Structure 1
């Protein structure tokens, strides 16, 4: 697979990976080995970053779109993410609240669909 795909699946920022990873092709066996027994560079990237936007968004509890609305467009390190959490700027509080509402709505819709399925099964 392409290095970008492998980096995405591993949850790391491609540009922060070693050159030999970025310039080569990652076989399925190599990928499985990276997951099963991550080398030091991979453990370090996962721990300290820089992290790709999906990971930053997850760590902050917001959506990727929320990051963009907040002006965060680059990869951030764990230290930068923790600093943002401590600062708790208005945009972050607002985006976390929005994300909480989105999650509540998703649960509500899931329960509603489950009810419909249950009623349909009872009628059958």
Structure 2
């Protein structure tokens, strides 16, 4: 007896997160349905125009905004950024170089430096 394998599905919010896009900016049919693993793979392999446009111009979800600014998500919150931003808004922030952004970038650079130091120290102790 063979059983019919049901496709693995996910909520639109999960699929949007995996695609790196802001859920509220996706088409209604995407937000209102479920996404199968195969559909997600197809969207990643050959993104439709709406997905390419969202990735290019946004609005972008906070993790993407933080990465594009070179800061943490917590740094976004400390800077008062709580909403999704477009690529244009992100570029404007980079150009304006507000004090909070420069401070958060310096903090993030220190965090990365410390993480690298810990990793190297751990690697040496394993040898």
Count of paired positions: 118
Q: What's the TM-score, normalizing by structure 1?
A: 0.95
Partner of 2:31: 22
In 2: Cα distance, 1:46 partner to 1:67 partner: 19
Aligned to 1:3: 12
How much does 1:50 deviate? 0.0
Tell me which residue corresponds to 2:51.
42
Structure 1 residue runs without a partner (length 5+): 119-124
- Aligned residue among 31, 41, 57 for 2:66: 57
Structure 2: which 5+ runs fail to align? Answer: 1-9
Q: How does 1:1-124 map to 2 (within 5 A)?
A: 1-118=10-127
Q: Runs in 1 of length 4+ with deviation above 6 angstroms? A: none
Task: State the 1:25 CA deviation.
Answer: 0.3
Provide the C-alpha distance between the structure 1 equivalents of 2:92 and 2:49, rounded to a whole number of angstroms: 25
Residue 16 of structure 1, CA deviation: 0.2
SS at match of 2:80: coil
1:44-94 deviation per Cα after TM superposition (whole angstroms, max 9, x unaligned): 000000000000000000000000000000000000000000000000000
Structure with greater helix share of residues: 1
Give the structure-2-normalised TM-score.
0.93
